[in-house]
Amino acid sequence: MQQQEERFERSGTRERNLAMELVRVTEAAALSAGRWMGKGNKEMVDQAAVDAMRHALDGVDMDGVVVIGEGEKDEAPMLYIGEQVGNGAEPEVDVAVDPVDGTRLLSLGLPGALAVVATAERGTMFAAPPGVFYMEKIAVGPAMKNVIDINAPVAVNLDRIARARESRIDDLTVVVLDRPRHQDMIRQVREVGARIRLITDGDVSAAIQAAMEDYRGVDVLMGVGGAPEAVLAAAAIKCIGGEIQCKIWPRNEQERDKLKTEGIDLERVYRTDDLVQGTDVSFAATGITSGELLDGVQYFGWGARTTSIMMRSRSGTVRYIQARHKWRKNGRSVDI
């Protein structure tokens, strides 16, 4: 990495690290949305985060188009699919956003809410077809990336993961969203003896934890979650290694029939490189409420503290950033 940086310096240009700029975007969203923690108003949580994120994105040196957002533009304040963000400078990138991953968590004052942004080269991020809202998922770290198969039974996948980890199945921890649709999966996990961590929301964070080599609280993410969250998780996993596999999951027979009529292959397996094809991927997240991955925003009279994570696929670097944000300096307001 040092040799790479020296090469850029000798050529008279220094490579920009877009992920560093994205951290300011997620910090802004977290600082704004965090004011609504525990106040029970999901709409204001979203609006505060979106407004701050949109303003911060406008100052980033990029020509971005949102491909993972909140659907087509409507009367809501959300960052919408197709929206142009950034100041129009190079590079041209796809942008995936989740201003608050865990809106309900934040509105109730529960742990684990994040502000998340990712970018990749233009045209390389998977855009779910209209009407696709959920995906079945399995995500693991680098040592297990070549052994999982989303079509295999739960017991087979857990046995393969345990062997790759050189451990026993009852050493493993599986993270699953606590939903009625997962009752049979939970039963199968328990039957083979693995441990389970149930989460109420926020499977982007859980997928990242499952993929991180230096995080041993989670070994695998399994179950059905949001399709946009699958792409955001894939962007992070593209940076740190590991693997995520996904399949489109219809919510009912009517949705299944509609998707089949539209020619969507429900048996196709989308892997990390299908969800994010680019090789220059940047990912950033800032904690809003404290969770397993990141600490939440802390407010003080003088300002606030935030904790963020940023990643880059080109170098594989993962940085944790603790920042102090002052509201005023020398009697003047400060632009965070």
Average pLDDT over residues 235-254: 96
Tell me the C-alpha distance between 126 and 268, whole Å: 13
Say what the pLDDT of residue 129 is. Answer: 85
Is 61 labelled a binding residue?
A: no
- In sequence order, which residues have a C-beta less than 8 Å from that of residue 16 and are 6 or more positions away? 61
Name the residue among 241, 238, 315, 311 with its Cα closest to residue 276: 238
If pLDDT is split at 50, 70 and 90, which confidence band does 202 have?
A: confident
Say what the pLDDT of residue 76 is. Answer: 52
More confident residue, 131 or 52: 52
Average pLDDT over residues 115-136: 94
pLDDT over 90 percentage in the chain: 83
Is 103 labelled a binding residue?
A: yes
**CB-side neighbour CA atoms (13 Å) of 225:** 30
DSSP state of 115: E
If pLDDT is split at 50, 70 and 90, which confidence band does 14 have?
A: very low
Is 287 labelled a binding residue?
A: no
Residue 66 has pLDDT above 50, yes or no: yes
Average pLDDT over residues 24-35: 98
Residue 80 has pLDDT above 50, yes or no: yes
Say what the pLDDT of residue 280 is. Answer: 95
Is 88 labelled a binding residue?
A: no
What architecture is domain 134-275? 3-Layer(aba) Sandwich (3.40)
Say what the pLDDT of residue 331 is. Answer: 54
Average pLDDT over residues 192-210: 95
Could you tell me the strand order of the sheet in which 220-226 lies? 195-199, 173-177, 220-226, 134-140, 243-248, 270-271
Which CATH number applies to 18-123+281-326? 3.30.540.10
Average pLDDT over residues 1-11: 40
- In sequence order, which residues have a C-beta less than 8 Å from that of residue 102 and are 6 or more positions away? 110, 112, 113, 114, 201, 202, 205, 288, 289
Which tokens sit at 248? 């489109």
Name the residue among 215, 217, 269 with its Cα closest to residue 237: 215
Is 203 labelled a binding residue?
A: yes
Residue 15 has pLDDT above 80, yes or no: no
Which tokens sit at 30? 């977290």
Q: Where are the domains of the chain?
A: 18-123+281-326, 134-275
Is 98 labelled a binding residue?
A: yes
- Read off the amino acid at residue 293: L
Is 134 labelled a binding residue?
A: yes
If pLDDT is split at 50, 70 and 90, which confidence band does 2 have?
A: very low
Residue with tokens 């994205």: 22
Average pLDDT over residues 90-119: 96
> Which tens digit of pLDDT belongs to each residue from 255-302?
999 999 999 999 999 999 999 999 999 999 999 999 999 999 999 999
Average pLDDT over residues 147-165: 97
Say what the pLDDT of residue 245 is. Answer: 98
> Which tens digit of pLDDT belongs to each residue from 305-325?
999 999 999 999 999 999 999
Tell me the C-alpha distance between 104 and 223, whole Å: 20
If pLDDT is split at 50, 70 and 90, which confidence band does 328 have?
A: confident
Q: For the whole model, what pTM was predicted? A: 0.90
CA 179 from chain center: how many Å? Answer: 20
Say what the pLDDT of residue 224 is. Answer: 97
Name the residue among 320, 317, 311, 309 with its Cα closest to residue 114: 309
